[in-house]
A = this chain, B = another copy of it.
Amino acid sequence: MSSSYSNYTNSPCAACKFLRRRCTSDCVFAPYFPPEEPTKFANVHRIFGASNVSKILHEVAPHQREDAVNSLAYEAEARLKDPVYGCVGAISVLQRQVLKLQRELEETNADLMRYASCLGGETTSAYGGRRG
> A88 to B74, Cβ gap below 8 A?
yes
Interface bin, chain A: 35 or more
A97 at the interface (CB under 8 A from B): yes
Mark contacts of A94-122 with chain B using CB atoms, 8 A cut-off: 1 yes-contact digit, 0 otherwise.
Answer: 11011001101100110110011011001
A51 at the interface (CB under 8 A from B): yes
Q: Which residue from B68, B112, B126 sits with its C-beta under 8 Å from A83?
A: B68
A37 at the interface (CB under 8 A from B): no
> A75 to B87, Cβ gap below 8 A?
yes
- Distance of A86 Cα from B101 Cα, bound (Å): 25
What would 8 more interface pairs be, CB under 8 Å, given A49-B51, A126-B126?
Answer: A60-B84, A68-B83, A72-B86, A74-B88, A97-B98, A101-B105, A104-B105, A112-B112
